[in-house]
Amino acid sequence: MTLASPAAEAADGPRWRPSGLLCLALTGSLLAAICLMAMTGRPGALGQGLQDEFGAWLPFFVSTQFLVLVPVIVALERFRPARPEQRGLSPSVGFDFLYMAVHLPTIVAVAAWVSGPISRWLEANASGLTVDSTRDWPVWLAGGLGLVLADLGAWFSHLLKHKVPLFWRFHMIHHSQTRMSLFTSNRTHPVDALVDVFVLLLPFFILFPSFTAQAPNVFVLGLLKGWSERFQHSNVRTNLGPLRWLFVTPQSHRVHHSTEPEHWNSNYATFLAWDRLFGTQHADDTSYPPTGINDPWFPEPGRWSPVAFARGFVGQLLFPFDSAAVRRASAGSPHETIDVTDSAIGEATNLTN
Model pLDDT for residues 103-145, shown as the tens digit of each residue: 767 766 666 666 666 666 766 776 666 777 777 888 788 888 8
Length of the chain: 353
* DSSP β-bridge partners for residue 236: 81
Predicted confidence (pLDDT) at residue 7 exceeds the cutoff of 50 = no
CA-CA distance, 208 to 190, in Å (whole number)? Answer: 26
Angle between helices 20-40 and 306-318 (to 10 degrees): 70
pLDDT bin (cut points 50, 70, 90) of residue 198 is confident
Residue 13 scores a pLDDT above 60? no
Q: Does residue 134 belong to any structural domain of this protein? A: yes
- 1 in a domain, yes or no? no
Domain-located, residue 240: yes
Mean pLDDT, all residues of the chain? 79
Query: Roughly what angle, to the nearest 10 degrees, separates helices 45-57 and 91-125?
Result: 160
Torsion of Cα atoms, 233 then 239 then 242 then 245, to 10°: 50
**Average pLDDT of the segment spanning 316-333:** 85
34 part of a folded domain? yes
- The yes-or-no verdict on residue 57 having pLDDT over 70 is no
pLDDT > 70? residue 85: yes
C-alpha torsion 161→165→171→176, nearest 10 = 130
Q: How far apart are CA 160 and CA 104, in angstroms?
A: 23
| Residue among 94, 32, 86 nearest 312 (CA) | 94
Specify the 3-state DSSP secondary structure of 73. Answer: helix
Q: Can you give the pLDDT at residue 205?
A: 72
Residue 49 has pLDDT above 80, yes or no: no
Amino acid at 198: F
- Say if 210 falls within a structural domain: yes
Classify 27 in phi/psi space as left (phi over 0), alpha (psi -120 to 50) or beta.
Answer: alpha
**Residue 50, number of CB atoms within 10 A of its CB:** 26
Picking from 302, 292, 297, the residue whose alpha carbon sits closest to that of residue 324 is 297
Average pLDDT over residues 334-351: 45
Residue closest to 212 by CA, chosen among 135, 151, 103, 127: 135
Range(s) of the domain holding residue 325? 6-352
Cβ contact 130:206 at 8 Å: yes
Domain membership of residue 74 (yes or no) is: yes
Average pLDDT over residues 194-218: 72
In angstroms, rounded to a whole number, what is the distance separating the alpha carbons of residues 320 and 314? Answer: 11
Of 40-49, 136-145, 275-284, 342-351, minimum mean pLDDT range: 342-351
Residues 6+ away with beta carbon under 8 Å from 195 = 157, 161, 167
Position 212 scores a pLDDT of 64
- Tell me, yes or no, whether 69 lies in a domain: yes
Domain count of the chain? 1
Rg (CA), the chain: 21
- The backbone torsions φ and ψ at residue 295, rounded to the nearest 5 degrees and listed phi first, read -155, 105
Pair 311, 318: CB distance under 8 Å: no
Flag whether 162 is in a domain.
Answer: yes
Helix axes 215-233, 91-125, angle to 10 degrees: 140
